[in-house]
């Protein structure tokens, strides 16, 4: 099944100059970027992305740390498309806690912060990227971050292998 999913390269990934490497990981696996932009978001968009559901699951303090983090600098927002894109992107990204992410994943190769360290410092965990969790999140997040005229359909060399 061809899917689209949202990926954000968070302020730490942009600041560390890892955007090219992160994008390369997706493209090397045959996934296609159909939307891409560099943005510095305001608190309103951040609150729409990190909804109040996060407060219910993780607490208001965690949500506030996430809001502060995602608005602290520019981010790369992109929509990735491909076969089972949601699951494949999440595998490429690695688990949320960087220190537990396997080598070969983006977080496993470039980040190492643990929940306990972030909690002690009272900061959001700096794990480089956000990837939509499931189909519902992907649909909602892509619509939040991109208008329909910012999403492009094109043929990529190699598409004949998946059609």
Residue 159's contacts (CB-CB under 8 Å, 6 or more residues apart) are none
Asked if 25 contacts 83 with a C-beta cutoff of 8 angstroms, the reply is no
Residue 7 near residue 142 (C-beta atoms within 8 A)? no
> Does 49 participate in catalysis according to the annotation?
no
What is the distance between the alpha carbons of residues 99 and 145, in angstroms, rounded to a whole number?
28
Tell me the Ramachandran region of residue 104: left when phi exceeds 0, alpha when psi lies from -120 to 50, beta otherwise: left
Q: Which residue out of 49, 112, 130, 161 is catalytically annotated?
A: 130
Catalytic residues: 130
């Amino acid at each position: 099944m061809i899917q689209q999913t949202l990926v954000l390269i968070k302020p730490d990934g942009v600041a560390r100059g890892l955007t090219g490497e992160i994008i390369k990981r997706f493209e090397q696996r045959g996934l296609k970027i159909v939307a891409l932009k560099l943005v510095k978001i305001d608190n309103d968009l951040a609150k729409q992305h990190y909804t109040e559901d996060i407060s219910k699951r993780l607490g208001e303090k965690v949500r506030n740390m996430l809001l502060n983090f995602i608005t602290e600098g520019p981010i790369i927002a992109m929509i990735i498309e491909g076969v089972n894109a949601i699951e494949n992107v999440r595998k490429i990204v690695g688990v949320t806690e960087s220190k537990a992410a396997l080598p070969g994943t983006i977080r496993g190769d470039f980040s190492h912060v643990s929940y306990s360290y972030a909690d002690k410092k009272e900061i959001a965990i700096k794990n480089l990227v956000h990837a939509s969790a499931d189909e519902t999140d992907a649909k909602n997040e892509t619509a939040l971050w991109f208008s329909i005229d910012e999403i492009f359909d094109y043929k990529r060399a190699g598409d004949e292998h998946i059609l």
